Amino acid sequence: MLTNEEVRSKVLDIIADIALDDDVTGIKDEVALREQLDLDSMDFLDIVMELKKRHKIEVPQEDYTRLASMQSCVEYLAPKFNA
């Protein structure tokens, strides 16, 4: 069973690899990722693909909006990590 904190840290690892030149240590959980980091739609595609590659987690296209902020990511992904 992964805690929310552990899920957050796994998502953060992915984001840190994608947003290579950004500092991800100060991300605010409730604020949209797009507003804090240099991420565009190509990068969100990468988050989805990294989730699949590293954790075998599938995110269907209609759920992409659930990845908008760190908080919504954790809420949406925690059950999938623990499934």
Looking at the chain, how many residues does it have? 83
Rounded to the nearest 10 degrees, the angle between the axes of helix 41-55 and helix 4-18 is: 120
Among 6, 9, 29, 45, binds other proteins (CB under 8 A): 45
Taking contact as CB under 8 A, which single stretch among the options 3-11, 23-31, 37-45, 65-73 is the one that binds other proteins? 37-45
Task: Pinpoint the alpha helices (H) of the chain.
Answer: 4-18, 33-36, 41-55, 70-81
Report if residue 21 touches other proteins, rule: CB under 8 A.
yes
Q: Which residues bind other proteins (CB under 8 A)?
A: 17-21, 38, 40, 42-43, 45-46, 48-49, 52-53, 58, 61
